[in-house]
Amino acid sequence: MLESVLFRNIEIVSGESIKTGDVLVKDGKIAEVGWDLPRHAELIVEDSGLTLMPGVIDPHVHLREPGATHKEDLESGSKAAASGGVTSFFDMPNTTPLTITSAAVAHKKQLASQKSIVNYNFYIGATVDNLDELNTCENIPGIKIFMGSSTGSLLVDRKEDLAHIFANGSRLIAVHAEDEAMVQANKQRYSESTDPADHLLIREDAAALKATKLAVSLADKYNRRLHILHLTTIEEALFLEHHASGLVTTEVSPQHLLLWAPDVYSRLGNLAQINPPIRTKRHADGLWRALKNGVINCIATDHAPHTLDEKMQPFGKAPSGMPGIETSLPLMLNLVNQNRCTLKDVCRWMSEAPAAIFGIAGKGKIEVGFDADLVLVDMQGRTVLRNSSTVSRSGWTAFDGHKIHGLPIATFVNGQMVYREGDFFTDIKGKEIQISAPWERR
C-alpha cells in the first residue's frame, strides 16, 4: 500500500483553475498542492505533458451483481470504471434479487468491499409497499423510482403511490421518468414490429416529458429533492430551464449527446436500444445546449451491459441497455480536443457536480484534505475504441471504431494506483462512499 505519492510539475485541473504545479498525496488524502514540493514520496510521478484531474464520479450504473454476473459483476465493472478514469460509482437496484431492503443494500456493499477496485455505493429501489425500508436504510445516495417499465415490482407509476413516497421522508429521490401507460399503449401498437428504430416510437418523447412534469410537481408539492435520470428530450430541458425551485437536478449520458436517430438504429440495430431511447439529432443538440448552460447538471453513463448474444435477439426480445462506464471520459476528452468544451467543463460535469448533487464530502476536486481520487490523462494520446479491447464483460461498445484524442492513462483511488495503461492492481479495493453534506439549493 502506498503511503505517499508526489505528482510533480504537472497540469492540474480542479474547480475553475488550470495550473502547473505539484500534488502531494499522503495516507489517501491530498496533503499539499503547490510548486516545487519536497521530493519525499514512495511514488513520484513526473511524466511530462500529462494532466491530473479529479476522478470521475459516475452516479448511474448497473453492474448486474447479484443475479446476472454473466453480463458484468462488481470486479469486472469496477475494472472497466478504473480504465476509464472513474473512481466512484452508484449502482442501481434492478438486480436479482431486487435491491429493495436494507439487507439487500448491505449485501451488495459487502460484495463490493471484496471485489470493487473503485469506490461504491448503492441505491435502494422503491416499490409500492417498502416505504419503511426506503427511509431507514443507512448511507445510500438515494431512492430509485422507475416510473416507466422495469423489472417486476420496481415499477411505481400510479400518482397516488408516487405521492406517498414523495410525501414521506427527506432523502433524494431519483426517477426514471417515462409514462408507463403511454409506453404500454405504444407497445401494443408496435407489437408486430421487427424494426429497432420503432423503439423510439414506443418510448415517445411525450412519455418522457409527461413523467418528468409529474415528478417535478411532486417534488415541489412535498419540498423533496429530485434527481431526474438520463434526460433525453429537448422539451424536458426547456421545461426544467424555467423551473426555479432549486429542488431538481438532472443528468445526461454520452450516448444521448453523441448518437442520434435514425442513423444509430440503421448502423447498430438492437445495440442502440436503450431506455429512454436515443432520439433524433434535434434532441441531442438540445441536450448539449442544456448541459453547456447548466440546465443539465452532470454526466452519468447509465452503464447497462448485456452480452452480444442477448442484444442480437430479434427486436422485442433483445434487452435494452448498453455499456459506457469505460468510454465516458475518453469521449469527453475527445470533445475537449474538438473545442466543444473545456477540461474545466469536464471536471465540473463528471466530478464536482455529482459530488455536490449527492452530498459526497471530500470528493470531486483536487484540494488539500480531499480524497486522493485522481485520474492522470494524456490529452495528446490517441486510440480507436474497439469491441475487442473492451474491459467490460459485455465485450462491446456502441462507439466501436470511434477515434479518440485524449486518454486516461492512470487511475488512483484513495491514493492507491489501481490502473495504469492496461494494467490493473486488484489487490487494492475501493471504499464505501459516505453520503454526508446536504444539497444546497441553487
| Catalytic residue numbers, as ranges | 302
Cα→Cα distances 332→205, 228, 339, 348, Å: 26, 21, 11, 12
Long-range contacts of the stretch 337-344 (C-beta < 8 A, 24+): 337/379, 337/405, 337/406, 338/405, 341/292, 343/13, 343/18, 343/51, 343/53, 343/379, 344/13, 344/15, 344/16, 344/17, 344/18
Cell numbers found for residue 97: 434479487
8 A C-beta contact, residue 58 and residue 18: no
Tell me which H or E stretch contains 8.
strand 4-14
Task: Report how far residue 177's alpha carbon sits from residue 256's, in angstroms, rounded to the nearest whole number.
Answer: 15
Residue 296: partners with Cβ closer than 8 Å, 6 or more residues away = 231, 237, 250, 251, 252, 287, 290
Cell numbers found for residue 434: 459516505
Q: At what angle do helices 159-167 and 205-222 cross, to 10 degrees?
A: 40
Cell numbers found for residue 312: 442480437
Residue 197: partners with Cβ closer than 8 Å, 6 or more residues away = 261, 262, 265, 266
Residue 87: partners with Cβ closer than 8 Å, 6 or more residues away = 55, 56, 57, 81, 118, 119, 373, 374, 375, 411, 412, 413, 430
Q: Tally the C-alpha atoms within 13 A of residue 298's C-alpha that lie toward its C-beta.
A: 26
How many whole angstroms from its chain centre is CA 128? 26
> Nearest to residue 195, comparing CAs of 318, 306, 322?
318
Task: Report how far residue 71's alpha carbon sits from residue 144's, in angstroms, rounded to the nearest whole number.
Answer: 22
Residue 350: partners with Cβ closer than 8 Å, 6 or more residues away = 56, 57, 58, 298, 299, 328, 329, 332
Residue 434 carries which side chain, given as an amino acid letter? Q
Task: Report how far residue 285's alpha carbon sits from residue 309's, in angstroms, rounded to the nearest whole number.
Answer: 32
Task: Report how far residue 300's alpha carbon sits from residue 250's, in angstroms, rounded to the nearest whole number.
Answer: 10
- Residue 424, strand partner residues: 419
